Amino acid sequence: MPSTLNGERPKSTLDPHCLLATTLHLCLAAARKGMATHDIIHWSLSLLIGYLAGSIPFGLLLAKAFGEGDIRKIGSGNIGATNVLRTGRKDIAAITLLLDAAKAGVTGWLVQHYFGAPFGYAAAAAALIGHCYPIWLKFKGGKGVATFFGGLFALVWPIGILAAIVWIATAVLTKYSSLGALIACVICTIVSHIFFGQGPSVMVGVMSVIILWRHRDNINRLRRGEESKIGQKG
């Protein structure tokens, strides 16, 4: 087993902290490269617009507007479409799903249209951060899967299709929706890094790391065999 000069084992490249550090390094490198040719104000505006758009708690607002109360007090306590569905209102859950996807999709597309491609990728990633950690709700938001898919389909549609195929196939074979999302994140990060440019691959990588981190409880339940399957009651 290889070791460092002081006898300690090097960290595995599969270690979550190592993956996060590597991804952040790529982001900083992309930002430094972009700032050589773009105005830093555009970077700041893109991140701010993306974060603020992503932090709008559509699920919470819609549930309250339709008389379903505070969805943070039921189920998982998240503000996403899955928890909205636990109220029994499929219509509100569907609207929430679309709006959460639009946070990264529409916002990223608009920023890309007006500022340029690199800024759109930054805005989409910031929207996912805003959804998962909204400032209005003390940084307690959703898990970000719908927002993740919205950003992919709007800005890197081939990766979006790949993610959907992997997610659906895994969910059908294993009956674990969360596992489908996790595997989709890993595969899409690898594929985007190999076949796409720095901007798209960094966006996908950052979003994937956030999704994996937000699903850490699901990962632990999967390891223990306690994760709920699709259609399972209770």
Q: What is the mean pLDDT of the segment spanning 130-159?
A: 93
pLDDT score for 210: 94
- Ranges of H-type helices in the chain: 16-35, 40-54, 58-65, 81-85, 90-115, 117-132, 145-155, 157-174, 177-195, 198-214, 216-224
pLDDT score for 12: 43
pLDDT score for 4: 42
pLDDT score for 177: 83
Better pLDDT: 107 or 228: 107
Flag whether pLDDT at 130 surpasses 90. Answer: yes
- Concatenated DSSP letters for 149-165? HHHHHHH-HHHHHHHHH
Closest-CA residue to 127 (of 91, 233, 110):
110
Instruction: Give the whole-angstrom CA distance, residue 182 versus residue 208.
Output: 8
Residues 207 and 128 sit within 8 Å (Cβ to Cβ): yes
Better pLDDT: 10 or 107: 107
pLDDT score for 68: 87
Per-residue pLDDT band at 17 (split at 50, 70, 90) = low
Token reading at 113: 């249209």
Token reading at 193: 């890094």
Instruction: Give the whole-angstrom CA distance, residue 123 versus residue 108.
Output: 5
pLDDT score for 11: 46
Taken in order 57, 63, 66, 67, is the CA torsion positive or negative? negative
Q: What is the mean pLDDT of the segment spanning 115-119?
A: 89
Flag whether pLDDT at 193 surpasses 80. Answer: yes
Q: What is the mean pLDDT of the segment spanning 70-77?
A: 83
Q: What is the pTM of this model?
A: 0.81
Q: What is the mean pLDDT of the segment spanning 148-174?
A: 95
DSSP-based three-state secondary structure for 14: coil
Instruction: Give the whole-angstrom CA distance, residue 70 versus residue 9.
Output: 48
Lowest average pLDDT, out of 86-90, 167-171, 214-218, 228-232, goes to: 228-232
Per-residue pLDDT band at 124 (split at 50, 70, 90) = very high
- Ranges of H-type helices in 74-135: 81-85, 90-115, 117-132
Token reading at 92: 């509100």
Average pLDDT score over the chain: 84
Per-residue pLDDT band at 1 (split at 50, 70, 90) = very low
Flag whether pLDDT at 2 surpasses 90. Answer: no
Q: In this prediction, what percent of the chain has a pLDDT beyond 90?
A: 49
